[in-house]
Amino acid sequence: MEITVSNKLFDEIKVGDRVAMDRVCTEHDLYVFASITGNFNPLHLPGEPSVVSGENKGGAVAPSMWFAALVANLLGTSLPGPGTLYRSQSLNFHARVGVGDEVTVSVEVVDKREPQLIILETRVVKSSGDLVADGFAEVFAPLRKLTDVHLEAPGVMLRKHRHCERLVAACAGLRPIAMAVICPEEPQSLGGALRAHAAGLIEPILIGNRRRIDAAASPIRSSAG
């Protein structure tokens, strides 16, 4: 993915300068945000049961800090742009956003303070007009001018294992087969064998160092409660 960015220095920025972007919340956004942050709160994952009654009757809701990241996107790529450094950000949340909702995220300069400090009002509003979040960001403007700089960043691919799910479903009702699992001495390989057993696919025969296998099982036991 290639993007072109420019920035504004302190002396170029005026009170009243504003940038905005529209964004539709997607399942992909929620899964990627969960993977990056490690926040797997079921409220924010499509198809997962709610742990708080009533919060997501209409489906998963976007994490509040997802909106903070969208604000940071505008500050870091548009106003002031590349080279911007945060001092603080405050956000008050007023409404929830679900998959398919469109929001407009905006930042507007409300004050400038020497040296290099820019104060911006930040807002997130649904396409319906409902206010989702508002607050203020304080950032230090870039020290070096950049104009039309081309940046390349790797894309992110989200894999949901649809083909595996189809194959597992096709095996429903079949007897599990005995399978030798060689050296499942770390949590990922041992966990895969155990998940296949739980799905009724295999009867695993673990072959390897018993002490190492037992050590690999320890975090699996902990996560299972």
| Rounded CA separation 219/210 (Å) | 16
Q: Output the pLDDT for position 104.
A: 97
Q: Output the pLDDT for position 53.
A: 47
Which range (67-76, 95-104, 147-156, 210-219) has the least confidence? 147-156
What is the number of other CB atoms lying within 10 angstroms of the CB of residue 111? 12
Average pLDDT along the chain: 87
Contact 35, 65 (CB under 8 A): no
Q: Output the pLDDT for position 5.
A: 84
- DSSP designation for 167: H
In the chain, domain spans: 2-152, 163-223
Both tokens assigned to 149: 């700089």
Both tokens assigned to 111: 């004050």
Give the mean model confidence (pLDDT) for residues 132-144. 95
Q: Output the pLDDT for position 166.
A: 76
111: pLDDT strictly greater than 70: yes
pTM exceeds 0.85 for this model: no
Cα 1 from chain centroid? Answer: 18
Confidence category of residue 48, pLDDT binned at 50, 70, 90: low
Q: Output the pLDDT for position 198.
A: 86
Residue 106 C-beta-side C-alpha neighbours within 13 Å: 16
Its CATH architecture, for the domain 2-152, is Roll (3.10)
Give the helix ranges, DSSP H, for 48-181: 64-77, 162-170
83: pLDDT strictly greater than 80: yes
